[in-house]
Amino acid sequence: MVRFAEKHELDSVNVLRRQVNELHVQGEPTIFKPGFSEELADHIYTVWNDPMQRIAVCERDGAIVGFAVLHHIQKPENPFMYERDYLDIDEFCVDEAYRRQGVATELMDFIRAFAREQGFRRLELNMWEFNRDALAFYEAMGFTTYRRYIKTDL
Ligand SMILES: CC(C)(COP(=O)(O)OP(=O)(O)OC[C@H]1O[C@@H](n2cnc3c(N)ncnc32)[C@H](O)[C@@H]1OP(=O)(O)O)[C@@H](O)C(=O)NCCC(=O)NCCS
């Protein structure tokens, strides 16, 4: 079952956030810091206290096995762009032990329904290029790439 998190569940959400951080450290070790600092753990409480952000969780077997951070982004018009207003998926993870069992799909169905109900016209997220599993999942959900970061190492 997918629903919005309760405050006492944020430590369980952090168990999943640690898995994402480890994956990022492995994929981009010169960018991401190893370990899971107190500051990183506490960030989930900043999210909790921000009225523009919501934390969705998926519960299975009485445990929190997946989560997503949803962030309402509003950017004013500027000389280059129209005003932008969309729902961004800031963080997303399913517990290693529960992958390929439809948990992320259930989360995404919930997010889409919530976003539509709130009147959003667009869901966005950004991801790291090394993360092929995540890309395969997002593409399976109908997401397409619309913007890129490119680099050359010197
Ligand atoms: C990406 C992730 C959220 C997918 O979660 P999941 O619960 O395993 O996904 P689902 O079971 O709902 O998969 C739905 C479909 O997506 C695709 N998919 C999901 N994971 C995939 C993988 N590793 N490789 C290829 N396709 C994949 C498949 O089409 C799958 O359908 P199928 O199982 O019937 O073939 C999960 O692997 C994860 O948490 N990864 C680590 C954290 C992460 O990368 N988060 C995103 C950061 S941007």
Range of the structural domain that residue 86 is part of: 2-140
Ligand 1 close to Cβ of residue 41 (< 6 A): no
Mutate to test the pocket of ligand 1, among 69, 99, 105, 124 (most ligand atoms within 8 A of CB): 99
Read off the pLDDT of each residue in 102-116 and give the average, rounded to a whole number. 98
Q: What is the pLDDT of residues 125-145, one digit of tens each?
A: 999 999 999 999 999 999 999
Closest residue to atom 18 of ligand 1, CA basis: 137
Instruction: Please report whether residue 106 resides in a domain.
Output: yes
pLDDT at residue 98, as a whole number:
98
Which DSSP category does 25 fall into?
Answer: H
Q: State the CATH number of the domain containing residue 55.
A: 3.40.630.30
Per-residue pLDDT tens for 63-96?
999 999 999 999 999 999 999 999 999 999 999 9
Number of domains in the chain: 1
Q: DSSP letter string over 76-100?
A: ---SS---EEEEEEEEEEE-GGGTT
Q: What pLDDT score was predicted for residue 25?
A: 98
In short, whether 137's Cβ falls inside 6 Å of ligand 1 is yes
What value does the mean pLDDT take over residues 32-51? Answer: 97
Which tokens sit at 132?
């092929």
Give the burial class of 105: count Cβ atoms within 10 A of its Cβ; 0-12 exposed, 13-18 middle, 19 or more buried: middle
Q: Take atom 35 of ligand 1 and give the residue whose Cα is closest.
A: 100
Ligand 1 centroid distance, CA of 141 (Å) = 10
